[in-house]
Amino acid sequence: MEGGGEQGPGRQGRPGTPGRSERALRVTGIADRRRGQSAPEPSGLDERQAEDRPHSKLWHITLSLAGDEAPLKEVRRALEQLAHDHPFLLTSRYANDHAEIRYWEEARDLHDAAAVALRLWGEHRSSAKLPPWKIVGLEVIDRQTYHQRIAEGYGPAPATPVGVHPF
């Protein structure tokens, strides 16, 4: 996913910002995809370059974690902090020795979506003060499969209510 953040080697900046590349970046919004619209190509790309660029899509992620018991209040607070740090989290369910996190990830393919999901817990462990649990399950499905499962009455139930809840 593209977005603001640190500028490092190989990173592009916002157009018109002094000292940064003038190449325009555009993050395609989820609303655009839902309406079936694609983002216009940034200026400066010819048709061949635009065709070669991989298109991202939405993936529904369910990440299951488990480990030694932790106080419920601390688990809840940590998951709420994770949801604040990673605003795309839809819902988290928890107990004192396990949790399940569900959210949408935008990625080029299943491999990229899974790689990001597998890093989520570890990358936020200290900032959100998450329990030292291990990932014990991962499901990555595309948007079409998610909606097909819901329509057929099986698979993950719609993530409502959104937020952090006990099992």
pLDDT at 12 over 60: no
pLDDT of residue 134: 97
The whole-number pLDDT of residue 91 equals 87
Tokens matching residue 94: 């928890």
pLDDT digits (tens, 9 = 90+) for 41-100: 444 444 554 455 568 899 999 999 999 999 999 999 999 999 998 877 788 999 999 999
Report residue 38 as tokens.
Answer: 């694609």
Cβ atoms of 1 and 103 closer than 8 Å: no
Distance between CA atoms of 65 and 116, rounded to whole angstroms? 15
Strands 163-166 and 89-94 turn out to be parallel
Q: Are 106 and 32 in contact (CB under 8 A)?
A: no
Q: Could you tell me whether strands 89-94 and 57-66 are parallel, antiparallel, or unpaired per DSSP bridges?
A: unpaired
State the Cα–Cα distance between residues 33 and 38, nearest whole angstrom.
Answer: 7
Per the prediction, the chain carries an average pLDDT of: 74
The pTM score is 0.65
Q: How far is CA 60 from the centre of its chain?
A: 8
Strand order in the sheet with 163-166: 134-142, 57-66, 98-107, 89-94, 163-166
Residue-level pLDDT at 82: 92
pLDDT of 37 strictly over 50: no
Within 13 Å, how many C-alpha atoms sit on residue 54's CB side? 9
Q: What is the pLDDT of residue 117?
A: 95
Q: What is the pLDDT of residue 88?
A: 79
More confident residue, 105 or 50: 105
Q: Could you give the CA distance from residue 23 to residue 160 in angstroms, rounded to a whole number?
A: 40
pLDDT tens figures, 110-163: 999 999 999 999 999 999 999 999 999 999 999 999 999 888 887 655 545 677
The DSSP-derived string for 84-138 is HHSTTEEEEEE-SSEEEEEEEEEESSHHHHHHHHHHHHHHHHHHHT---PEEEEE
